[in-house]
Structure 1
């Protein structure tokens, strides 16, 4: 999906183009892909980043990028900006897990997860903010997790990275709020993805027993919340954490 950028108009759209320029990191599968499809259905110009394998439908621009590499991030943004114009909505979704208990966790297990999930978000937000500040508008959505609020055994690295996103969004709100830029966090719980489907049946049963809603969420349910918090309807919300977890963490 490419189009020549003819400059932004006051309503948040580029003249002669539909919708906003939206970028989702790690948007080639799972929750990220559902988010990308939701924005595409909304009429936006959507791009996603991927690390090694792109599998996205027509209409979505896929750009290879490694969020742990500043030069790679900059190159990806340059491609997206040439095709769709300055990024107006950024969804920082790229993330990894390296789960193991504390005494078995190596320093590399910890730092690599932090570098991807937390510092990676910093890299893409810093790059996106240039264009948003010039436009004096923007939506930043950080995809956290119920474990960032609730904690989880074997996920000290992952939970720390996801909790850090909350402080990041709230600091961004205080820095950039006067520029028409919002920064919010969406914290999914257990979602029906390929990863969840591979869990043993007994493990899935145990997880379900802790969820008041009695079911896992569909990726599309997360995507709808992300799309809404990035919309004009949510223009006065910033620094918020929205749990999408069926009542598992209840925002704590």
Structure 2
């Protein structure tokens, strides 16, 4: 399996996810779930095949991490749909996943078997996978915030915001777990748990922002719109933490976390 085969798996997956989203709008819930899960299995099969071909986890480059984000977004979407039956969530998760897939198709970064010594650790795969799952859940929470703020005709209610809250609670938990794994990995690879390099600094800022959101919701449960805008601000920080730091001058040649094939 090579990167050249990705387009076939991508098209099949997106078509299945789109079919699931359409079925959700038509009230065919079982078909919606079945089609979405089928798309997830097709997409995941490519990741596994690529993993075997590369002889390493496909988690090093930005393109490879986008693969996992493209997988986890529909996964988070179908989880929300199964729990709360929101018809729109599968459409949003499919659209967002398709955007990341499109970026990978238009900018196919080189994927080879090279893996620097620092990444040859047992903590590498679980650390990145857990983080990608957290990002997907927090992305779903942001999608919910956008819907409630800009698309819902009626004023958002506290019950609706609870959906975003639950996604944030789980996403923040996985983010915390990912940070702990990263600290253990850093100790093994570089001899220290935390070095405050640009990636770690933005990770800490993102973690504290979501923690502040949780405390704000607990302290002021009636402040719905400020909480939603706060949630979007947190998601902007998350984007800086994930890929934005690659464009910061301070990270060029200094951060061990920048995604590079060099």
TM-score by length of structure 2 reads 0.31
Looking at secondary structure, tell me which structure has more helix per residue: 2
